[in-house]
Amino acid sequence: MFKRILRVFIIILVLAVLVVVVGGIVGFNFLRDNGIKQYFASMKPPAATVSTTIAKPSSWTPGVEAIGTVKAVRGVDLTVETTGIVKDILFHANQKVADNAVLLQLDDAVERADLDAQKAQAALDQTSLARAIELTKRGVGSDSTLDTARAAASASASQVTKLQAVLDQKQLTAPFGGTVGIPKIDIGQYLAPGTAVVTLQDLDTMRVDFSVPEQQLALLKIGQTVRLGFGGEDRPFAGAIRGIDPKIDSSSRLVNIRAEVANPDGKLTPGQFVQVRVELPEEQNVLTLPQTALTTSLYGDYIFVVQPAKPAEAAPAQAAKPEEKPAAPAADKSADAKPADTKPADATKPADKAADTAKPAAEGEKPALVLSQVFVKPGRRNQGMVEIVEGLKAGDEVVTAGQNRLFNGMSVAVDNTIDPNKSANKQADQQ
């Protein structure tokens, strides 16, 4: 009987110990999780550093953009007019040649000999004509003899001119001044009529051919400024519109435009691809932002506007100050309790010191800043700037850099020492 009671007691004791251990573990885990939740609920994330700009009206130069092809104002592929063997090449690649400069000489030995013989025959016929004229003046020569001599002299002179033209065809000359390309023939090569020899391009002035939609035709006119570039927003070359095709292509609904651009440094090359922008009259009071400030999403285009945080958390601190002030008069009225007089005085001194030290810090601190996500309607773009049609007002402080992982209501710190529109090397040089 005693053993049975002892066994039950041991079992109850073990169960009690287990309940205590398990309850302690569960309670510890509960308190730990609750403490972690309260810690993270009260903890504020660190403020993200961003760069901002103030939105304000500015001047805006609209334009019509297109893709164009560069051509030389004067450019041609030179060919030979007659057959022959190349005797001499009088140019080299990328050489600047003058007008009527001889570029190629074909073998002209036969033609030159024929010309010399014909010149001799022409001189003989001219002498016979002079003799016939003299005899006719003396009355001893007939008119038919004179006519025959005159016709022979004229035919000989014409034949000399013909052979001289044939001889000139053995030379290839530059029709205008410019820059020649790579020779396409070799010395000793037999050439047939129409064989291409070299290209000749006048690179001082270039023309640019491009097309615009018919809806933009009314915006263009002769003489408007045209700017060219190879890519990006930089367009260093400037010219003017010289021609507008009066006919619209019925298949593509495009209009062909031609502009001329000075090329003194030779940076533009015929056949080159360029980006064209026709500048329109300037507009005023247009709200613009750097394109880096605009973010595109499935829901639309939006920006982040920096605003001061609302003083919701400062209200409890301000409400506590009036409750601390009546403590001093209460201590003065209870004059009988001397120990009570000293304790409140000792207790208030650290609080007063803390309040005195906290005031300068609060006065020196900047107000907290938070983000507000604003959806906007963008418009035209030009040179890294974008026009904002709706959703933005003048004076708004907009984030231009550091938008990664930003969200609505997030605390931020503004640092405008870094300009996203400039490269890192330029900013390092300025610093």
Query: What pLDDT shows up at residue 43?
Result: 66
d(CA 93, CA 185): 12
299's tokens: 């829901």
Query: What pLDDT shows up at residue 421?
Result: 52
- Cα 187 to chain center, whole Å? 47
d(CA 107, CA 87): 5
Per-residue model confidence as pLDDT tens digits over 203-243: 999 999 999 999 999 999 999 999 998 876 678 889 999 99
What is the arithmetic mean of pLDDT over 344-366? 43
Residue with more model confidence, 15 or 256: 256
Query: What does CATH list as the number for 63-70+196-282?
Result: 2.40.30.170
d(CA 191, CA 86): 7
Put simply, whether the predicted model's pTM sits higher than 0.75 gets the answer no
CATH number of this structure's domain 48-60+285-310+368-430, picked from the four choices 3.40.190.10, 3.30.1240.10, 2.40.420.20, 1.20.1250.20? 2.40.420.20
What is the arithmetic mean of pLDDT over 13-24? 84
Q: Is the dihedral of CA 185, 92, 176, 242 positive or negative?
A: positive
Per-residue model confidence as pLDDT tens digits over 389-418: 998 888 899 998 877 778 888 888 888 876
- Phi and psi at 68, nearest 5°, equal -130, 170
Query: What pLDDT shows up at residue 32?
Result: 84
Q: Which residues pair with 191 in a beta bridge?
A: 84
Per-residue model confidence as pLDDT tens digits over 306-340: 988 876 544 443 444 444 444 443 334 333 434 44
Query: What pLDDT shows up at residue 113?
Result: 94
d(CA 393, CA 391): 7
Question: How far apart, in Å, are the Cα atoms of 20 and each of 7, 14, 17, 28, 249?
Answer: 20, 10, 5, 12, 92
CA-wise closest residue to 89 among 77, 69, 104, 76: 104
Per-residue model confidence as pLDDT tens digits over 266-306: 889 999 999 999 988 888 888 999 988 999 889 899 999 99
d(CA 200, CA 178): 6
Whether the CB-CB separation of 197 and 185 falls below 8 Å is answered with: yes
What is the arithmetic mean of pLDDT over 375-381? 90
- Looking at 10-24, 78-92, 282-296, which range is the least confident one? 10-24
Query: What pLDDT shows up at residue 90?
Result: 93
Residue with more model confidence, 214 or 36: 214
Across all residues in the chain, what is the average pLDDT? 81
Query: What pLDDT shows up at residue 335?
Result: 38
Query: What pLDDT shows up at residue 349?
Result: 42
Query: What pLDDT shows up at residue 415?
Result: 84
